[in-house]
Amino acid sequence: MRCLASVVFFVALVLIGHATADDSVSADRIKVFLFGAVAFGLEVTVDMRNNTCHSLDNNLIDGMVKSVLVGGPDVSSVLSRDDGWYCVFYDNYACNGTETEMLVIPSGENNLKSSGWHTRVHGLQCINEGG
């Protein structure tokens, strides 16, 4: 019985993996993967429409984003992208402000603490210049 449960679980993971890998990027939408502190295992996936502001207000990861992947759930998916998407992260919920209040990330960022942004991400907006 344990063997059957293990097989079912593995097949479910494979199917979920294919679904997330195939639908991470399209002409009008991109998935952004936000990761919080490693000790808490916090991960949030945001489905972003082109040129639309998304506030992290009332979201568990608000102000705790430590790393980001744009357009894929893993580094290899992100590096294999060939599109015009990039995302702008804001230290406010309205997605506006000066250059000091925003951070542009085209693919991913591993350590937002190194740039002083580990507590500042409160909103994001993604733009597709290629479509």
Question: What are the tens digits of pLDDT across the range 62-82?
Answer: 999 999 999 999 999 999 999
% the chain with pLDDT above 90: 64
pLDDT at 26: 93
- What pLDDT is stored for residue 23 in this prediction? 84
Q: Is the dihedral of CA 114, 120, 121, 126 positive or negative?
A: negative
DSSP-derived secondary structure for 31-60: EEEEE--GGGT-EEEEEEETT-EEE-TT-T
d(C-alpha 59, C-alpha 102), whole Å? 19
The bridge status of strand 67-70 relative to strand 102-105 is unpaired
- Say which residues have a Cβ less than 8 Å from residue 79's Cβ, sequence separation at least 6: 107
- Whether the pLDDT of residue 12 is over 70: the answer is no
Residue 116, pLDDT above cutoff 70: yes
Average pLDDT over residues 11-27: 56
The CATH class of the 2-128 domain is mainly beta
Residue among 62, 46, 69, 73 nearest 118 (CA): 62
Write down the pLDDT at residue 46: 95
pLDDT in tens, 95-109: 999 999 999 999 988
pTM: 0.79
Report the pLDDT averaged over residues 19-30.
78
Question: If pLDDT is split at 50, 70 and 90, which confidence band does 53 have?
Answer: very high
19 pLDDT exceeds 70?
Answer: no
DSSP three-state, residue 2? helix
